[in-house]
């Protein structure tokens, strides 16, 4: 997870360049498919350096992945804090919207996550996934708990199942956005902003009726 000191001694811009190049390669080709050759050629640095910084391919991957996930968590934390006083479905809506924006700003990071999700040869994949799921579950669960306390949910609702359903819907929505975005070559996205908002509203509506109490 942690790089050797040799990497931390690098100037910050250089660290960033290396991280970005690695993200790009891993997110496009997965762990086994990624080529350190390609990364160093792209960067114009010596192959040996990567091994000095990170020990081996796995070390590079874990570092890069970890960094990416921290960024996602930061994003979610911000949304949660900034919507503290709002109603549940408004918060869910803004979470989804934030996800779409994150996707647009860091299109590679979501695919990096997808690679981990479905590439079985990735080192520590199980640990990584468990940690992700639990983070995501905690995030939604905390929103739901707050909402329940405020009486925004139907009574007797099972928070675990509900959290699962919401997670499924939202994750799948982002998957669809990501695939659509990547398949379009990372382009012509602007016109889809409105479209995305429309879908989000519709989805949140269904969620509201499904789990919300009637007011």
> In this complex, which beta carbon is closest to DNA, that of residue 43 or of residue 129?
43
Instruction: State which residue, 110 or 189, has the beta carbon closest to a second copy.
Output: 110
Q: Which stretch binds a second copy (CB under 8 A): 5-13, 121-129, 141-149, 186-194?
A: 121-129
Under a CB-based contact definition with an 8 Å cutoff, are residues 153 and 213 in contact?
A: yes
E strand or H helix at 209 = helix 192-211
Using CB under 7 A as the binding rule, whether residue 9 contacts DNA is answered as yes
Query: Cβ of residue 23: shortest distance to a second copy, in angstroms?
Result: 14
Q: What is the 3-state secondary structure (H, E, C) of 141-191?
A: HHHHHHHHHCCCECCCCCHHHHHHHHHHHHHHHHHHHHHHHHHCCCCCCCC
Per CB under 7 A, does 37 bind DNA? yes
Q: What share of the chain is helix, strand, coil (3-state, %, to 5)?
A: 80, 0, 20
Q: Does 41 bind a second copy (CB under 8 A)?
A: no
How far apart (Å, rounded) are the C-alpha atoms in residues 9 and 195? 45
Answer yes or no whether residue 207 interacts with a second copy by CB under 8 A: yes
The answer to whether 39 contacts a second copy (rule: CB under 8 A) is: no
Q: Are 88 and 143 in contact (CB under 8 A)?
A: yes
Residues 54-93 that bind DNA (CB under 7 A): 55-58
By CB under 7 A, how many residues form the interface with DNA?
Answer: 22
Binding residues vs a second copy (CB under 8 A): 28-30, 32-33, 111, 114-115, 117-121, 126, 129, 154, 158, 161-162, 164-165, 167-169, 171-173, 176, 179, 183, 199, 202-203, 206-207, 209-211
């Amino acid at each position: 997870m942690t790089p050797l000191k040799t990497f931390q001694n690098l100037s910050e811009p250089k660290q960033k360049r290396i991280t970005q190049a690695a993200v790009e390669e891993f997110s496009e080709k997965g762990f086994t498919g990624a080529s350190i050759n390609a990364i160093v050629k792209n960067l114009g640095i010596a192959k040996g350096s990567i091994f000095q910084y990170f020990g081996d391919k796995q070390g590079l991957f874990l570092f890069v992945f970890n960094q990416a996930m921290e960024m996602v968590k930061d994003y979610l934390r911000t949304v949660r804090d900034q919507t503290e006083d709002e109603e549940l479905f408004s918060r869910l809506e803004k979470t989804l919207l934030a996800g779409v924006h994150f996707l647009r700003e860091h299109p590679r990071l979501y695919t990096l996550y997808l690679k981990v999700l479905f590439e079985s040869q990735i080192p520590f994949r199980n640990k990584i996934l468990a940690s992700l799921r639990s983070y995501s579950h905690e995030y939604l669960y905390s929103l739901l708990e707050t909402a329940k306390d405020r009486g925004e949910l139907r009574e007797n609702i099972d928070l675990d199942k509900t959290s699962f359903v919401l997670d499924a819907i939202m994750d799948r929505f982002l998957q669809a956005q990501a695939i659509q975005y990547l398949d379009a070559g990372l382009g012509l996205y602007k016109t889809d902003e409105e479209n995305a908002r429309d879908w989000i509203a519709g989805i949140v509506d269904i969620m509201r009726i499904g789990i919300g109490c009637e007011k």
